[in-house]
Amino acid sequence: MMFEELKDVSETGGTVEETYGRPEISVQIFEWMEKKKMKFTPSQLANFVDFIDRVHSIRAALNYFESVDPDFDNMDYKAKNWPAYDFLARSMSKNWNKRPW
């Protein structure tokens, strides 16, 4: 099933979410990729963190990010995982009143 979904996405030329309209499928695909030990680009990691936030919670997204890059230096804006951190920081500030994460 996973390969069929990826094939459908490649044929449309869009993203998983654009093709299916559900971030849950995107999370499933990223989880499958992770189990296969595939490496994520910084932008893919940022997308995965975004989908985890939308499907589960900002806390789950933050926990995942911290497990992937436990030594991340948020003062180094040139760090390879900066896009994912930037997404988390923006999402947390946007949802500040909805704490706890």
Chain mean pLDDT for the chain: 78
Token pair of 45 as six digits: 């990691």
pLDDT tens string, the chain, 101 residues long: the values are 555 554 554 455 555 555 556 778 888 888 888 888 888 888 888 988 999 998 888 899 999 998 888 888 878 878 888 889 898 998 888 877 666 55
- Helices then strands, counting H and E runs in the chain, come out as 6, 0
pTM of the model: 0.65
pLDDT in tens, 69-94: 888 887 887 888 888 989 899 888 88
Cα 68 to Cα 74: distance, rounded to the nearest angstrom:
14
- Cα-to-chain-centroid distance, residue 52: 6
Asked if 68 contacts 79 with a C-beta cutoff of 8 angstroms, the reply is no
